Amino acid sequence: MKLERHTPGRVSLGIKLKRVVWNLTSALLFRPFITPVFRKWRLLLLRMFGAEVEWDANVYASVKVWAPWMLRLGHRACLGPEVICYNQDLVVLEDDAIVSQYSYLCTAGHDIDHANTADSGLITAPIVLRRGAWIGSRAFIGMGVEIGENAVVGATASVYKNVEPWTVVGGNPAKFLKKRIIKENK
């Protein structure tokens, strides 16, 4: 998957209308159903709007998804409480990837190299969390970022560059802290 930035152009009327319908559906039929009993109901709604979501994934009712049709969740992937998934481009959580509470996944921004940022074009790039990646609470993941397999992003970290597999990063901007070694339970 190419994670490079691109300019999608104006948001079409069709997408705007789809977003209106999604926002109404989310407000009336997704967000009010807060208990785990309704987990599959929420997944069904996401699927109805084009998300590719495995049935054993979990998306909390308080999650805000900008465009379900740009969301892919693998087996046991999880978007935790109050996560904001601003996915104007594709967001992929592979199997067992977890995004903890209050985190922000942001696939869009503006081209700041223009003199007048109000006139600068929208740019987007996908976000990919590889198998077993874990995003800590209140982390920010920027557009075009790939979090490697079994990597950990510490709480409150801001990630603007790819994170290598089996590493732990933290801070703002996120920096390498250590290699991740999983110890066996005895």
Active site residues: 110
* Cβ–Cβ < 8 Å for 64, 46: no
How deeply is 87 buried, as exposed, middle or buried, from its count of CB atoms within 10 A (0-12, 13-18, 19+)? buried
Three-state secondary structure call for residue 172: coil
Residues 6+ positions from 79 with CB-CB distance below 8 Å: 58, 59, 60, 63, 65, 73, 85, 93, 99
Q: Which residues pair with 176 in a beta bridge?
A: 169
Other C-beta atoms lying within 10 Å of the C-beta of residue 13: 8
Do β-strands 167-170 and 146-147 pair in parallel, antiparallel, or remain unpaired? unpaired
